[in-house]
Structure 1
């Protein structure tokens, strides 16, 4: 594989099949012909070593030997090779290969639809500003002040759980700014990453009371990785009335920011700091001026003509009862109008209508506009790129090409797993042959691994479904894990109920409102749980996983009884022994589990058969009282002086 690796054409997805690289041995090289051979067959995407040897008209043993010499490990005749490997192997065998094909993947297949940049069409556009920071540091309140509406009151638990996109006309400069409000909870990591990567300016919100918090550090990391310009907004200054105390608090926050390598203007950097209060409005005009000034310096431009293909990003997608599938699209370039054809992910759309952030119809969308697009065939994924196609036929063609590439990528993963499983099986077979005692391999290695607890996620928008899946998929330990069978948008459908029944899954519904009674009390008996706040959902899933941990019990002694004397009486010509006892500590019940000890050795472990006081049966006997006892299973091998210990097996609480 030395020469193969040097060619630079290996893809990382195929490297699982090769465990080491080595220079071709001299012996292997001598088997390869020096003359150029003509290729007389079509190279398949995947082929086994055995079938490839037939196509090359050579013995499979020779091919296996040569592949081993080229650096392949654990190669057998059934080993499956990808097209990339086959082409490189054919080069080693000096075959004439067809003209190099363009390397496409599912992520780049739509790039052919993009229009080249035309500098003549570049015009100034409004900046896209992302508000980022920790939970409850005042991000949404800032936007609430700017657009004069009440977003906070509409959020469950007082936190933003979706990406909101709003365009406002600033009251001072009368310029447009598009704001993205990203959730601050840790569960929405992917959504915050997406917000940082499609924006121009990041406003990092830091509370003057709390300073730097975990999600603040995370937002700083995303801001640095994205390369976007940043403005620091120190919020809630209205809560500190004394000027001197406020100054000290601001100095503390500033020092924390500098400690996290943020180049503030105070230390010669270019990051502006704006102390403000969104509730009182103090310095909000200064934040607006800072954003407008920074955007002017950046000279943000985009092609806003319908002569170029429109491009954008899906911020959110969902199913609305009245209009069907809608997606919030942030336009990056071009001019989006009704009737345009868009491709995105595995679906496409003929734009039926465009709605602004207030739900009003608009005729077109320009760069930096965030609009709801109606007319999608299927729900697009949040974060996917949207590109305009010339017509519906072209959209279908590229959709089909992308789906085919996804299938090839999935096949590659399956092939890697298959080769790996075959290699492991051969290793196990070899270990079994080498076992001198003929014992089986440790059965624990043959187990399927930790227990999987299945869930199906249903959410109001795709961003929430993605965030929930990311959050709960990592829960568990070596004994029990969370397995998300599927995640999608909308209320549970009949197919979801069938899937849940087949896979024994619980359905987690997030922000779906009141579900119909026939769904909650479905005939299939599927457990459907509803949530409005993601904290509660994660806690509930954690508890379900905890309940599925293997129970551990501990023995607790609750009573001690001494055997004082043995009585015998005859019943139907059968002699029955009864232990005459005295309760020294605790209580003994008719259904108690006991152990009989003799010289600290357990001679019996089981339950009582009878418990009597005098001639009468009784349910319990307390400390200091005498009783007669017989034991189940006909056990009578007890003697005076034995001790009877009553115990309970109590389940020990376990945690992930």
Structure 2
């Protein structure tokens, strides 16, 4: 029976020796002083007495739904280090300022005989957070006029970027790889004292997701159609996006300066798509323009302002800021940088915000002209610094009352995202395996995608995943912003994946590691090159190549006929090595007379696995005995070679 001294129990219970001795006397347990020993049963009786007393004294403690270790220690009137030790015994590692859940706090409190309840009016922080994240409805009297947000969409090479250049009097196209806009940005233009915000969307069809994201935050869409080319697949795609977003559409018929321009053909094709222009009695505004010669630009902008006036675009500037992340990237010097469009309220420097899984305090805001600003109202696009990580393009951002709420919201979202990722990455069950067997074996091409900006990464991911077919599934196991790192290479090595880098390079450590681990790292600046290469890799998976690799040659110098065995060739290895599992070609007078396999390979009377150059050996061949002195035996093995990117 184990015994414990009184002073040890007093220390454990954070009581004085005298108080503990008086409690023991109440239980008629005789002790002389603090060095006296009591049995484990007597200690148990003592604990029961203390718990009953706490119950009688109202041992219920009101707390918030979540509290830190220090706050719990204060509520229980205990030392924080003691609470940390209790948590460690329960398998929970926590620091003094770390938050713990109500369930864990209740378990710790029960150890001391206390019951925890959530204080009335707290309504749990989770409920408070959800309430704070809700976008309040605006009252009619609070709404004020705001500038329109315009997205320019259309087919590749129809002149979207050139049109924006003409509007902004800038030259972006010449700096773009392949003449295609690769990133989404936002810019502001002042026309007759009125502001118009333009979202720059990329032109290649592979950036469909980014273009769709632009349509979600836009008020007016300008559809650029080349007068000499007409409606193309991406034009139809852009029309569908604008229809799905429910935004008014203005058609800019570009390149009217070209001799082959035919605006009437464009109008006819638009009508076929359900867009009847005003000239033909419809409601769709169509403006002939020439981005190259800057003709019709003013008319187009006037039409934008006219449509904006008809739409009565209004917002409440006097509330917490809410909007959308247009683009985000990891800048080497500035950290996570996000281009956001404020859609309601006013964003100020110093505001705590939550953007998707990221949180932070706005350290600085830079407008479209590169100038620092302190305030951004509705329909204002700004670059913000101060986020904890790179958010996803298209994420909603909301300013919140304080940093703690911002952190809590982001952490909850990150936990949900982690849980979902774990579910999606679960190993295949027998049911899954059986269903895949019924559908036919599915091969997977695993990819790790890294890019310079979040929008590009998402676009590359969606474009490559669309390449999946019945036999090969393209699976993106990870995507992120920034250079290709060692951890990306290790993930690819573990998953047998290929790394696709878009406008980024591997860091030096990752480059050497990729060679060591034999991980294929490919970098691109134009997206369709990546698509072509992945398609080639998929073709390789469907049709592996078989290559014959010569291993050695031997000359037959003697022929022996052995009863019960057959014909055996006494050979001399003239080149390379001869392996027991080799396939062979027997060559006589430079003509192949037989192709087959080795039946046996011997040195003297012993079977051997291989024979090197300069050594003699005996060979026999499967189902073939017609050999002569002077014949040459060419040995080879067949290898299956998967096509690389």
Question: Is 1:283 the equivalent of 2:296?
Answer: yes
What's 1:130 paired with?
151
Question: Is contact 1:549-1:654 (8 Å) kept?
Answer: no
Separation (CA, whole Å) in 2 of partners of 1:494 and 1:639: 57
Say if 1:105 and 1:405, in contact at 8 Å, map to a contact too: no
Asked if 1:633 is matched to 2:618, the reply is: no
Name the structure 2 match of 1:600. none
Asked if 2 retains the 8 angstrom alpha-carbon contact of 1:595 and 1:605, the reply is no
CA distance in 2, matches of 1:125, 1:191: 24
User: Which deviations, in whole Å up to 9, do the C-alpha atoms of 1:156-176 show, x marking residues without a partner?
Assistant: 110011112111113xx2321
Structure 2: runs of 5+ lacking an equivalent: 1-122, 549-556, 570-584, 601-617, 629-633
Alpha-carbon shift at residue 303 of structure 1 (Å): 1.2
CA contact (8 A) 1:591 1:608 kept: no
- Equivalent pair of 2:362/2:385 in contact (CA under 8 Å): yes
Structure 2 contact 359–406 (Cα < 8 Å) conserved = yes
Q: Distance in 2 between matches of 1:467 and 1:311?
A: 25
**What displacement does 1:649 show?**
9.5
Q: Is the 8 A contact 2:326 2:393 kept in 1?
A: yes
> CA separation in 2, counterparts of 1:188 and 1:590?
61
* Kept after mapping to 1: 8 A contact 2:457/2:481: yes
Is 1:473 aligned to residue 498 of structure 2? no
| Contact kept in structure 2, 1:113 and 1:387, CA below 8 Å | no
Alignment match of 1:201 (pick from 210, 217, 220):
220
- 1:648 Cα offset (Å): 13
1:528 matched residue in structure 2: 521
Deviation at 1:121, TM superposition (A): 2.4
Distance in 1 of aligned mates of 2:163 and 2:193? 18
Q: 1:490 aligns with which of 476, 482, 485?
A: 482
Q: Deviations over 1:200-224 (max 9, x none)?
A: 0000000111100000000111111
**Residue 161 (structure 1) aligned to one of 182, 185, 198:** 182
CA 1:655 to 1:186, structure 2 compared with 1: closer, same or farther past 3 Å?
farther
CA contact (8 A) 1:113 1:389 kept: no
Cα offset, 1:322, TM superposition:
1.4
- Alpha-carbon distance change, 321 to 364 in structure 1, aligned in 2, over 3 angstroms: same
Output the CA distance in 2 between the equivalents of 1:196 and 1:473. 22
Most deviating of 544-553 and 193-202: 544-553
Residues 568 and 265 of structure 1, relative CA distance in 2, 3 Å threshold: same
CA shift at 1:269, angstroms? Answer: 2.1
User: Is this contact kept in 1: 2:561–2:568, CA < 8 A?
Assistant: no
What whole-Å deviation, never above 9, does each CA across 1:90-125 have from its counterpart, x for those lacking one?
A: xxxxxxxxxxxx9x999x957744233032221111
Which of 539, 544, 549 does residue 551 from structure 1 map onto? 544
Distance in 1, matches of 2:406 and 2:589, equals 73
Measured in 2, the distance between the counterparts of 1:202 and 1:280 equals 22
**Which position in structure 2 is the counterpart of 1:539?**
532
- Conservation of the 8 A alpha-carbon contact between 2:547 and 2:638: yes
Which residue of the partner structure matches residue 250 of structure 2? 231
Instruction: Please show how residues 264-279 of structure 1 align to structure 2 within 5 Å.
Output: 264-279=277-292
- Counterpart residue number, 2:263: 250
* CA displacement 1:542-591 (0-9 Å, x = unmatched): 22222233436799xxxxxxxxxxx997799999699xxxxxxxx99579
Contact 1:327-1:380 within 8 A present in 2 as well: yes
d(CA) in 1 for partners of 2:306, 2:135: 31
Correspondence 1:454 to 2:442: no
Equivalent residue, structure 1, for 2:357:
346
Contact 1:456 1:500 in 2 (8 A): yes
Larger RCO: 1 or 2 (CA < 8 Å, sep 6+): 1
Report the secondary structure of 2:257's partner residue: helix
Is the radius of gyration larger for structure 1 or structure 2? 2
Q: Look up the match of 2:210.
A: 191
Equivalent residue for 1:510, pick from 502, 523, 527? 502
The SS at the match of 2:542 is coil
Give the aligned partner of residue 308 of structure 2.
295
Distance 1:110 1:631, change over 3 A: farther
Q: Is the 8 A contact 1:113 1:388 kept in 2?
A: no
Q: Does 1:147 align with 2:135?
A: no
TM-score between the two structures when normalised by the length of structure 1: 0.64
List runs of 5+ in structure 1 lacking aligned partners: 1-101, 429-441, 556-566, 579-586, 597-603, 610-629, 641-645
What is the rounded CA distance, in whole Å, between the counterparts of 2:637 and 2:494 in structure 1?
38
**How many residues are aligned here?**
477
Question: Is the Cα contact below 8 Å between 2:271 and 2:277 reproduced in 1?
Answer: yes
Q: 1:588 to 1:260 in 2, by over 3 A?
A: farther
User: Structure 1 633/279 Cα, relative in aligned 2: closer, same or farther at 3 Å?
Assistant: same
Q: Alpha carbons of 1:570 and 1:154: their partners in 2 closer, same or farther (altered >3 Å)?
A: closer
Offset at 1:197?
Answer: 1.3
> Structure 1 residues 290 and 105, CA, compared in 2 at 3 Å: closer, same or farther?
farther
- CA, structure 1 residues 201+446, in 2 after alignment: closer, same or farther (shift >3 Å)? closer
- Partners of 1:238 and 1:476 in 2: how far apart? 42
In structure 2, relative to structure 1, the CA distance for the partners of 1:595 and 1:174 (3 Å cut) is farther
CA contact under 8 A between 2:567 and 2:625: conserved in structure 1?
no
Shift of residue 450, structure 1, vs aligned partner = 2.3
